[in-house]
């Protein structure tokens, strides 16, 4: 009987089963050999599926998703989950298993071909660290007890029993060591040093290629810390907090003398650029007359700035848990404070004992600066996903039997109450830090910011959210202040922070107004507006209100009446780049407004033409009226149109809706004038667009035969911008227009009560 060959998943499961069995039998030597066999086969699968991509990028068939819900390489990684679970149970008796398993991602990635693996596969291998931490924390949670102080009642503090706590404290340093060695592998796996020997360009390319690896490790370190804090594991939280604080130093990337005055404004989007472009992108961040940064110095600035972002976001998230009372203890707030003070970074130098308000505020402003790239691949999106993933393990306190929506945060904006708490706590020790000067210096040079003026607008929007959070979460903010300030408090912190927010808004708006005053309007935008208007006006044939199939002629002479149209437009829209949310439809709107003006001018010219007064009995809602005007309609012959006053329009609408008469009533396509066209009654197009004084006008829609547009200088349309006040201004559009009319009669219909009405000319 023919048997099917085993799948890679089945072989991996069989190999992992052997590893698990040796854990159960406490056989370290056999365990090591079985794990080596499992890892070798996993490496073989990765290398076997590696193929050169058609565009030269890394590609692996293990990424291809078939009928299964997950691609193969993800299922292979999940094989290790049950091994981590079994090894965690052996922490008190044989910690060797967990120590060895903690090096699984390191051993999978230490191959010389690591740099050739696709980014997605590398990220999932690094994620085995958080997977392992979940299993360790599950063990910690099962082994914890409630502490009862001597002479007191039980308190909501979880702690391991003595022997378990000692075993756990012994194994954690080796787990952290394996995790940090995985980080130190990056420079070697991506050949940083070897590439720098050849050229700065190659050195920068090697760093850029390793950025996804570094970001995944950094965000996973923050995730492991969040897992420990959520499970109220103070020992694990302490170790991973220190690992997160010293992360750049662990990388072995010594702090460089990069000659960047604004090194905190280096964002990871520079790694997508070639080295010359990256140097140009940070040119505005250098000290005056400073040399350009090297590839190593620029990569150092990007690494440390991103690390600062992750520290701040992680701190805010952990503090948010305390504010929302998601945990029994205040471990979240205490860990947040230790992170912000960088406790554990340098054992030779004591950490600061209080928050620096100016530093925290400027770090927040960096987070709130949207870049030019707003796609899912942007750094802003990566930070939002980090917040979402860190909070994904949590849930609010619930009452059994009730239905609750998930409490997971969606991004950085959901942490505004925590940001407000950080700032109010930092205000306690805020001295003469010249916050206004720092804000003005930052806002004065928007060319330094990742999104230019859009970054300043982003800060202003976030300040509004911060102000709102300050009002709605005041009680929670005051409650956690003592945790962040080591027991101290500040009675007027809310009012002081509100004053700082007001000052920041004022400073930023003042600097933005200076920028606006200095910048000329964008001639390219003005030309696009002008060209759009000209194209719309010279398009033929034209439909101008009640007149159809109007021929448009272009003349090279200055013929026709000079028409000027003024359109209210903010200057912020027509500088380059725009200083408010871009209005992509500005050109189309301006063209539409000018087209309306052409129709209005033609209508005014029409109203000055002679008309014949005709007395007609009955209302437009009566069948007798339409029978009476039938002979007059025949005189028009070509496409008759009836324009009536609003009161008549209401009467006619009731007739049209009831449709109980013997009149022929139709709704024709292509005659719709917004808010005006009613219907075709007896083949007459009826519009409700006339005033009571104007009366009822019956004429041909072909009465306007042609419009000539003459020249203004060398153009048929001119556009200029006039500043009115502040940022408000107007576009001044000029064009020439001359109408040509047919000899078709124009009838003005009156009720029979109007006697002796002569022909009129208005």
- pLDDT score of 671 more than 90: no
Residue 287 pLDDT: 85
- What percentage of the chain exceeds 90 in pLDDT? 47
Residue 696 pLDDT: 86
Structure tokens at 368: 């709130």
Q: What is the mean pLDDT of residues 75-98?
A: 91
Residue 184 pLDDT: 93
- pLDDT score of 722 more than 70: yes
Q: What is the mean pLDDT of residues 205-228?
A: 94
Please, are residues 473 and 420 in contact by the beta-carbon 8 Å criterion? Answer: yes
Residue 492 pLDDT: 76
User: Torsion angle, CA of 419/425/427/430, rounded to 10 degrees?
Assistant: -120
First and final CA of the chain: distance in angstroms?
103
Q: What is the mean pLDDT of residues 368-380?
A: 76
Please tell me the pTM assigned to this model: 0.84
Burial per residue of 26-45, b for 16 or more beta-carbon CB atoms within 10 angstroms, e otherwise: eeeeebeebbeebbebbbeb
553-592 pLDDT tens trace: 999 888 889 999 999 999 999 999 899 988 889 999 999 9
- What percentage of the chain exceeds 70 in pLDDT? 88
Please, are residues 511 and 443 in contact by the beta-carbon 8 Å criterion? Answer: yes
Higher-confidence residue: 146 or 370?
370
Residue 1 pLDDT: 42
Residues 6+ apart with CB under 8 A from 640: 633, 683, 684, 685, 698, 699, 700, 701
- Name the most confidently modeled range: 231-240, 374-383, 743-752: 231-240
The strand pair at 728-741 and 704-709 is best described as antiparallel
Q: What is the mean pLDDT of residues 350-357?
A: 72
- pLDDT score of 522 more than 50: yes
Task: Give counts: helices (H), strands (E), the chain.
Answer: 28, 18
Compute φ and ψ for 452, nearest 5 degrees.
65, -135
Cis omega (within 30 of 0) for bond into 187: no
């Amino acid at each position: 009987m023919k048997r099917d060959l085993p799948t890679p998943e089945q072989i991996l499961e069989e190999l992992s089963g052997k590893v698990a069995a040796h854990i159960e039998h406490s056989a370290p030597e056999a365990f090591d050999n079985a794990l080596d066999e499992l890892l070798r086969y996993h490496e073989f699968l990765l290398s076997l599926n590696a193929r050169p991509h058609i565009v030269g990028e890394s590609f692996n068939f293990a990424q291809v998703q078939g009928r299964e819900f997950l691609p193969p390489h993800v299922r292979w990684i999940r094989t290790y989950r049950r091994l981590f679970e079994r090894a965690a149970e052996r922490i008190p008796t044989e910690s060797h298993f967990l120590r060895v398993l903690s090096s699984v991602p390191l051993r999978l990635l230490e191959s010389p071909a690591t740099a050739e693996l696709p980014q997605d596969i590398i990220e999932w291998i690094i994620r085995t660290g958080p997977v392992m931490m979940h299993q360790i924390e599950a063990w910690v949670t099962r082994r914890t007890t409630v502490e009862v102080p001597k002479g007191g009642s039980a308190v909501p503090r979880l702690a391991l029993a003595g022997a378990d706590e000692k075993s756990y404290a012994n194994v954690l340093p080796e787990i952290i060591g394996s995790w940090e060695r995985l980080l130190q592998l990056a420079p070697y796996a991506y050949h940083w040093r070897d590439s720098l020997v050849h050229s700065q360009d190659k050195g920068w390319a090697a760093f850029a290629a390793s950025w996804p690896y570094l970001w995944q490790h950094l965000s996973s370190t923050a995730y492991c810390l969040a897992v420990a804090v959520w499970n109220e594991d103070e020992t694990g939280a302490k170790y991973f907090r220190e690992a997160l604080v010293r992360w750049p130093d662990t990388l072995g990337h010594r702090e460089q003398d990069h000659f960047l005055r604004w090194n905190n404004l280096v964002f990871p989007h520079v790694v997508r650029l070639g080295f010359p472009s990256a140097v140009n992108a940070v040119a505005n961040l250098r000290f005056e007359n400073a040399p350009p940064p090297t590839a190593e110095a620029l990569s150092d600035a990007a690494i440390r700035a991103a690390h600062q972002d992750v520290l701040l976001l992680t701190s805010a998230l952990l503090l948010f848990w305390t504010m929302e009372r998601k945990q029994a203890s205040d471990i979240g707030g205490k860990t947040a404070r230790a992170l912000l003070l960088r406790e554990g970074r340098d054992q030779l130098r004591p950490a600061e004992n209080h928050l620096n308000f100016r530093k925290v505020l400027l770090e927040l402003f960096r987070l709130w600066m949207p870049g030019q790239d707003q796609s899912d691949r942007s750094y802003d999106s990566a930070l939002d996903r980090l917040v979402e993933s860190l909070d994904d393990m949590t849930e609010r306190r619930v009452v059994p039997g009730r239905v609750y929506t998930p409490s997971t945060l969606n991004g950085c904006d959901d942490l505004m109450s925590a940001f407000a708490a950080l700032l109010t706590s930092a205000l306690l020790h805020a001295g003469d830090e010249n916050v206004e000067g720092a804000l003005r210096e930052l806002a004065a040079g928007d060319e330094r910011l990742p999104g230019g003026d859009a970054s300043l607008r982003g800060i202003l929007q976030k300040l509004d959210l911060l102000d709102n959070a300050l009002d709605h979460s005041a009680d929670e903010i005051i409650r956690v202040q003592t945790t962040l300030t080591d027991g101290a408090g500040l009675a007027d912190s809310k009012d002081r922070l509100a004053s700082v927010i007001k000052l920041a808004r004022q400073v930023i708006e003042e600097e933005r107004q200076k920028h606006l005053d200095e910048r000329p309007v964008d001639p390219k935008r003005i030309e696009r507006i002008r060209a759009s208007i000209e194209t719309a006006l010279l398009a033929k044939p034209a439909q101008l209100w009640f007149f159809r199939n109007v021929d448009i002629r272009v003349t090279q002479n200055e013929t026709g009446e000079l028409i000027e149209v003024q359109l209210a437009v903010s200057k912020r829209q027509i500088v380059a780049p725009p200083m408010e949310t871009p209005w992509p439809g500005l050109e189309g709107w301006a063209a539409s407004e000018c087209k309306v003006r052409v129709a209005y001018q033609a209508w005014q010219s029409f109203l000055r033409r002679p008309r014949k007064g005709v007395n007609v009995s009955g209302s437009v809602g009566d069948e007798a009226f339409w029978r009476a005007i039938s002979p007059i309609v025949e005189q028009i012959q070509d496409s008759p149109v009836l324009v009536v006053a609003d009161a008549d329009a209401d009467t006619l609408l009731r007739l049209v809706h009831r449709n109980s008469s013997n009149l022929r009533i139709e709704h024709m396509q292509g005659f719709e004038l917004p808010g005006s066209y009613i219907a075709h009654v007896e083949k007459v197009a009826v519009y409700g667009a006339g005033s009571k004084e104007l009366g009822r006008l019956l004429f041909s829609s072909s009465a306007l035969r042609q419009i000539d547009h003459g020249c203004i200088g060398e153009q048929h349309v001119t556009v200029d911008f006039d500043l009115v006040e502040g940022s408000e201004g107007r576009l001044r559009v000029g064009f020439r227009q001359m109408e040509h009319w047919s000899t078709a009669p124009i009838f003005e219909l009156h009720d029979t009560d109007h006697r002796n009405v002569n022909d009129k000319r208005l």
